[in-house]
């Protein structure tokens, strides 16, 4: 009698590559390259995207998932948390972004659901009725497919006044960045989640698809940055 238990093995591992370039007056002063963690939320996100039903699968992981058109990658955000943080954080920065988690996020934990200590890209209208922008929109997505590997690359740029917040409430001499997240379109970058999180109970914040914590990169008002984030199949 023929064996009806047929096993087919076909495994593909999603890989993510991250590059951060820092320039001062146009000159490259630092380039950081690394792999990063594809989070459990990101794994569920993939399943949701390839499923037909709105809300996708599994609903136990993403019970209120938006329509598929709202699930595309669109934003990149930085923070000053994570175990990669080794710098002395300026007093003004530390007071504006208080630390309640105490540097616990690692680069090998797929259960992470948020940046530990996010920092704003920009703030308008400070201090009256400020509007925060917490994530930077991707300015370029390279979707040119190669035969090997298959990949997509997302790119976001940060100007001299981004993150250092010249005039509101900074300017700060530097902001010691040490974590980064990749986000979907459904993330609202103007939500005040990073400030309101210090209330009890804390409101929900957007879940990154990918996360990375790294040794401190100092963002000053002389520095521009370009972030390139690849998701690839071997």
Residue-by-residue pLDDT tens, the chain, 234 positions: 444 454 444 545 667 789 999 999 999 999 999 988 889 998 888 877 777 655 444 444 444 555 555 678 899 999 999 999 988 888 888 888 877 666 789 989 999 988 988 898 988 877 777 778 889 999 877 655 555 567 888 999 999 999 988 766 778 889 999 999 999 887 878 776 545 544 445 556 788 999 999 999 999 999 999 999 988 876
Cα 84 from Cα 106, distance rounded (Å): 8
pLDDT at position 12 is: 54
Q: What percent of the chain has pLDDT over 90?
A: 36
Q: What confidence tens digit (pLDDT) does each residue in 55-75 have?
A: 444 444 444 555 555 678 899
Q: What is the pTM of this model?
A: 0.83
Contacts of 82 (CB under 8 A, 6+ apart): 103, 105, 106, 107, 116, 117, 178, 179, 213, 214
pLDDT at position 66 is: 53
Three-class SS of residue 179? Answer: strand
| Core vs surface per residue 179-218: b (16+ CB within 10 A) or e | bbbbbbebbebebebbbebeeeeeeebbbbbbbbbbebbe
DSSP run (H or E) holding 194: helix 193-196
Cα 106 from Cα 108, distance rounded (Å): 6
Cα 183 from Cα 199, distance rounded (Å): 23
pLDDT at position 1 is: 44
Query: Domain coordinates of the chain in residue numbers?
Result: 15-233
Cα 111 from Cα 37, distance rounded (Å): 10
Kindly write down the DSSP assignment for every residue of 32-97, as one continuous string: EEEE-EE-HHHHHHHHHHT-SSTT-S-TTTSTTPPPGGG-SEEEEEEES-STT--SPPPHHHHHHS
pLDDT at position 46 is: 83
Q: Which residues pair with 140 in a beta bridge?
A: 155
Contacts of 188 (CB under 8 A, 6+ apart): 206
Cα 197 from Cα 114, distance rounded (Å): 11
* Of the candidates 78, 72, 76, the residue with the CA atom closest to the CA atom of residue 186: 72
pLDDT at position 188 is: 76
Q: What confidence tens digit (pLDDT) does each residue in 191-206 have?
A: 765 455 444 455 567 8
């Amino acid at each position: 009698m023929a064996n009806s238990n047929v096993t087919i093995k076909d495994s593909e591992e999603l890989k993510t590559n991250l590059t951060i370039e820092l320039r001062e007056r146009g000159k490259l002063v630092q380039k950081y390259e690394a792999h990063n963690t594809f989070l459990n939320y990101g794994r569920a996100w993939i399943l949701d995207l390839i499923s037909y039903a709105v809300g996708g699968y599994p609903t136990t992981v993403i019970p209120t998932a938006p329509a598929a058109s709202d699930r595309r990658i669109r934003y990149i955000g930085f923070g000053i948390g994570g175990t990669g943080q080794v710098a002395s954080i300026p007093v003004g920065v530390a007071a504006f972004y208080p630390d309640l988690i105490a540097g616990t996020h690692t680069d090998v934990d797929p259960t992470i659901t948020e940046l530990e200590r996010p920092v704003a890209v920009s703030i308008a209208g400070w201090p009256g009725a400020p509007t925060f922008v917490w994530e930077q929109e991707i300015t370029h997505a390279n979707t040119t497919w190669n035969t090997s590997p298959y990949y997509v690359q997302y790119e976001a740029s940060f100007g001299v006044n981004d993150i250092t917040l010249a005039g509101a409430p900074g300017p700060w001499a530097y902001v010691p960045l040490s974590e980064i997240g990749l986000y979907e379109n459904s993330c609202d970058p103007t939500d005040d989640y990073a400030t309101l999180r210090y209330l009890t109970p804390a409101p929900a914040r957007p879940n990154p698809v990918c996360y990375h914590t790294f040794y401190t990169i100092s963002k000053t008002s002389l520095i521009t940055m370009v972030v390139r984030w690849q998701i690839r199949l071997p």
